[in-house]
Amino acid sequence: MVWEDMKESVSQNELVYRAIKADLLAGRYMPGQRLESRILSDRHASSSTPVRMALSRLAGERLVEIHANDGFHMPAITAKGVSDLFRFSNDQTLQCLSVRPRSGVDTFASYAGRADDPDFPEGVFRAIAIGSGNPEYLSLMTNLNDRLYLIRRLETSVLGDSENDVVTIFDSLRAEDWAKARVDVSEYHRRRQETSIELVKLLYLPR
């Protein structure tokens, strides 16, 4: 009976974590907003313990911040912070490409998904990390995908043809043109670094 209760508790913790994370990625909360445990408990029909555990876990993923004596908050986003994040993403993606196996392109495509999938950008970068053969890169890329998720959903308003940048990377990878893929990855990130101010302005608009 104790084991069954433990399994149920773990399941509830995971469900609350996933639900709160989904809200964060969807942009339900504004940058810098305080996250009230009581309100989250009511929203997710949960006690306060799973909510606090979820927020602590999300803080470890840098999707949430802990402020001394003031609980949990959404990170305050700045243009420099967004630019730095894209620069870091560029560096890590290029590193993945420098070590990825030169085979298994069909497998790569299966991980990337379809170009008409809303999550195609995350799929492409995740596939690049998987192709490196190093699980540490995959873990890091997964976190980068989460932290950039909402920004990528807003960038079409600034860049217009933003989805084409990802398709271009994908096409180079499918052709096994690794040199061009590296150029495409750098161009993808350069454009977003240059528009970081406009992207941050969109993040602060009511949704």
Query: Which of 73, 95, 129 corresponds to the end of one domain?
Result: 73
pLDDT digits (tens, 9 = 90+) for 129-160: 988 888 999 999 999 999 999 999 999 899 98
> For position 37, which CATH number holds?
1.10.10.10
Residues 117 and 151 in one domain: yes
In angstroms, the Cα distances linking 1 to 11, 51, 59, 71 are 15, 24, 32, 35
What is the model's pTM? Answer: 0.88
> 48 is in which domain, residue-wise?
2-73
What's the confidence (pLDDT) of residue 35? 97
CA torsion sign for 189, 193, 199, 204 is: positive
Hey, is 93 helix, strand or coil?
A: helix
Residues 83 and 68 in one domain: no
Residues 128 and 66 in one domain: no
> For position 84, which CATH number holds?
1.20.120.530
Residues 64 and 161 in one domain: no
DSSP string, 149-181: HHHHHHTHHHHSSHHHHHHHHHHHHHTT-HHHH
State the virtual CA torsion across 22, 25, 28, 29 in degrees, nearest 10.
120
Return the residue matching tokens 């150029």: 183
DSSP letter for 67, please. E
Query: Which of 73, 103, 121 corresponds to the end of one domain?
Result: 73
DSSP letter for 115, please. T
The pLDDT confidence band at residue 5, using thresholds 50, 70 and 90, is very low
Structure-block tokens of residue 203: 């993040």
Hey, is 72 helix, strand or coil?
A: strand
Residues 67 and 108 in one domain: no
In angstroms, the Cα distances linking 48 to 45, 54, 183 are 10, 10, 48
* Total domains present in the chain: 2
pLDDT digits (tens, 9 = 90+) for 16-51: 999 999 999 999 999 999 999 999 999 999 999 999
Residues 142 and 198 in one domain: yes
Query: Which of 48, 73, 98 corresponds to the end of one domain?
Result: 73
Structure-block tokens of residue 31: 């940058």
